[in-house]
Amino acid sequence: MFQTLAYFSTVFYRRFTSYTTQRLQALGLHFGSLFPVLYVGKHPGCTQAELTANLGLDWGHSQRIVARLVEDGFLTRKKSGRAYRLELSERGRKAFTVSHQVFFDWDQEILAPLTREERTTLLSLLAKAAQKEVDEPCTILPAAPSTTAD
């Protein structure tokens, strides 16, 4: 197969989707709801328009996701003026915690063969390629349990 960023991005995306789906199924949450739950958890009281714009969703897709999350008891919608404010319910807060942690757990698993320095370098280079600032606390992962020295 080709040794390209596109190829490896696809491989990692498929693995991450599978890993995350397995973790979220126990909560009754679908992979497509992962980012809306995370967004509302980090921006309590946001409007659906804010969620839609910041996640780059189309309005119809956003409507369906939010309606399902409300119906399944992960989100609440409260009228505030002309907009509805979104909040996590108790079930949503539990899903947020698991959803947030799954990123770190997956990184820990997939990056285990790398040293701490290699992990930091890899994540910094990916952030540079994506033209995003590096979030320092997220680039330094806890030491992976392994027999190799970091």
| Contact criterion met (CB below 8 Å) for 54 and 39 | yes
State the average pLDDT over residues 142-150.
41
| pLDDT tens sequence across 92-143 | 999 999 998 998 999 999 999 999 999 999 988 988 888 876 655 444 444 4
In the chain, how many domains are there?
Answer: 2
* E strand or H helix that includes residue 79: strand 75-80
Query: Could you tell me if residue 68 is inside a domain?
Result: yes
Say how far apart CA 66 and CA 130 lie, in whole Å. Answer: 28
Range of the domain at 70: 18-110
pLDDT, tens digit (0-9, with 9 covering 90-100), for 27-66: 999 898 999 999 999 999 999 999 999 999 999 999 999 9
Strand partners, 78: 85
Q: Write the DSSP string, 100-134.
A: HHHHHHHHHHHTTTS-HHHHHHHHHHHHHHTT---
Pairing of strands 75-80, 46-47: unpaired
How many angstroms separate the first and last alpha carbons of the chain? 30
Q: Structure pTM? A: 0.78
Could you tell me if 62 and 123 lie in one domain? no
Judge whether 9 lies within some domain: no
